[in-house]
Chains A and B, each alone.
Chain A
Amino acid sequence: MQEIRFHGRGGQGTVVASVVLAKAFFKAGYHVQTFPVFGVERRGAPVEAYLRLDADKKILIRSNVYTPDHVVVQDIKLLQNVDVTKGLKPGGWILLNAPGIPEHPERFSEYRLAVVDAGKIAIGHKLGTRTQPIINTAMIGAFARIMEMPPMEAIAEAIEKEIPVKPRQNILAAKQAYEEVQMIENQG
């Protein structure tokens, strides 16, 4: 079983991202479970969601995720006030939405870092506005690259089902992020 934790902000589509990925992984033959850490959400406040994947067995555990295999961070500014590596297993991926490599990448030396400029990609596909780009589908595409799964066809299908607004542009954003994500394995 693999466990993934998503960090985002209310209104960024963090829960939708985890659901689209769950549906795509299910399509690719996995058992899946995903749920948000439900608070009394406000737009802009930090939010979390969890995703569990198992290629072989039905997922029985139904408590929160404490030691994720990988984390997805939808906003680089979250690094200032959320401990996104809390419980993260050494060697796990941190997928970060940022315009470039963050300062002091050595602080993540225990892990593998991947960076994608999802904001730029989203704006390029006219997803959201310049100040509030809808970045979740780009993050999904980048995630599929670092995990080497699920296949892009499964992602495209899940986006079409789950995201009624601009599905074509969202799929293009996912594909572009898949190509552009920078994987920095030994940044230490």
Chain B
Amino acid sequence: MREVLEGSHAVSEAVRLAKVQVMSAYPITPQTHIVEALSEFCEDGTMDARFICVESEHSAMAAVVGASTCGVRTFTATSSHGLALMHEMLHWASAARLPIVMAEVNRALGPGWNIWMDQTDSLAQRDTGWIQLYCENGQDVLDTTLQAFRLAEMVNLPVMVVLDAFFLSHTYEDIDVPDQKAVDRFLPPLSPRIQLSTQNPCAIGQMSPPAFYTENRHSIQAAMEQVQGRFENIQEEFEPVFGRKYAPLEAIECEDADVIMVMAGTAASTCREVISDLRSQGEKVGLLKLKMFRPFPTMLIRKILGDTQKVAVVDRNFSFGVSGIFAQEIKAALCNHDNHPPVFGYIAGLGGRDVTPDILKQVYHMTKTASFPKEDGVWIDLNN
């Protein structure tokens, strides 16, 4: 049924429909509305699930690691400093091959205390072995959360569903909330491949000396390498039931584009409008929306961007001493492609600063008129 729903509640609804069994979370703005609704669902019997209250995000992740190890479907949500505090346990979740799903609301880190939109928190966790999927609107959030459980349980890796603070988490819009029967058809109950059980006693997470550690890491990478294909398979199951599908990367008007703009999150939605304006003025511009960031779809990136003239990446994040993180990854993906295009990096929209259509048009025009990037990242919305 279509209804007007807040982005945070699009997550909560998906978690309810996924029949998650154990949740644990510590509240932090702007994630709070997600877990408030879920704790109410547990309290009023809407969900047959256990909500474990904890004293920190580190413990929240530890609690779902424990529950997931016992073979139940688990969920948590956090943001910014909460995610940073979880860091150690994020490695545990992926290395123990646990299909945990987490909603991560992109928020800036302090000091310079800031509760607003910024991608640096999730991108700083890129090496933890979590799959990362970025969302651009409320429907995308709901559908991606549902798909995240399917994906996590197929490859036995944890999935982070990433949504913009406020521009998505606190924005109400019309969203199709599927009915339970449809979701049950798409997402069967979890049949765990790893499970602590008194019937079959075993130890999990033991010492892995040099003789085994490399193979252990290699097997995680092998699972990661299956993710893109599995994600595409999931769409074949999802579309007939729900009428929607998603791609690891979405190419909009890219075939004949001279400049392709690249970004993730709600900025990509605004950019769709900008692309259509610029196209109507005869500009040959395209948009590549990044949905899947881990694993990074390198071959797909080369296919879409490899032969265009220029690439302009908009990063709402920053790695001090280098540049925007998406720009780095795009460059790395393209460097072994013959005659690859120059990659122009732009930093915009940090700490909740708005990424307006005007900023995106400025990014396009600067890229179009420059012959080669003079610096690794242009801070395009810096106040003078």
Contacts and interface: CB of A to CB of B under 8 A. Distances in A.
Interface of A: 19, 22-23, 26, 31-36, 38, 40, 59-64, 66
Given A26-B174, A31-B174, A38 B166 contact: yes
A22 B172 contact: yes
A34 to B, nearest CB: 5
B355 interface: yes
A62 B171 contact: yes
Interface string B267-281: 101101100000000
B366 interface: no
Given A22-B172, A26-B174, A38 B116 contact: yes
Contacts of B266: 62
A64 B355 CA distance: 9
Contacts of A33: 171-173
Given A38-B166, A62-B269, A32 B357 contact: no
Contacts of A19: 4, 172
A63 B173 contact: no
B30 interface: yes
A32 B173 contact: yes
B115 interface: yes
Contacts of B174: 26, 31-32
Closest 10 interchain pairs by CB? Answer: A35-B171, A62-B266, A60-B273, A63-B356, A33-B173, A23-B4, A26-B4, A63-B354, A34-B172, A60-B272
A63 B115 contact: no
A62 B270 contact: yes
B361 interface: no
A35 B166 contact: yes
A35 B355 CA distance: 16
19 contacts: A22-B172, A26-B174, A31-B174, A32-B174, A33-B173, A34-B172, A35-B166, A35-B170, A36-B166, A38-B115, A38-B116, A60-B270, A60-B272, A60-B273, A61-B273, A62-B168, A62-B267, A63-B167, A66-B356
B117 to A, nearest CB: 10
Given A23-B4, A26-B4, A40-B115, A62 B172 contact: no
Interface string B333-373: 00000000000000000000011110000000000000000
B4 A62 contact: no
A31 B138 CA distance: 13
Contacts of B272: 60
Nearest to A15: B170
A118 to B, nearest CB: 23
A64 B30 CA distance: 18
Interface string B247-280: 0000000000000000000110110110000000
Most buried by A among B166, B174, B266, B356: B174
Nearest to A51: B172
Contacts of A38: 30, 115-116, 166, 170
Contacts of A60: 269-270, 272-273
B273 A32 contact: no
A34 B30 contact: no
A61 B357 CA distance: 8
Interface string B204-222: 0000000000000000000
A187 B356 CA distance: 35
Contacts of B273: 60-61
A23 B173 CA distance: 9
B116 to A, nearest CB: 7
Nearest to B174: A26
Contacts of B136: 62
A35 B4 contact: no
Nearest to B137: A62
Contacts of A26: 2-4, 174
A4 to B, nearest CB: 14
Contacts of A62: 136-137, 167-168, 171, 266-267, 269-270
A31 B168 CA distance: 16
Contacts of B167: 35, 62-63
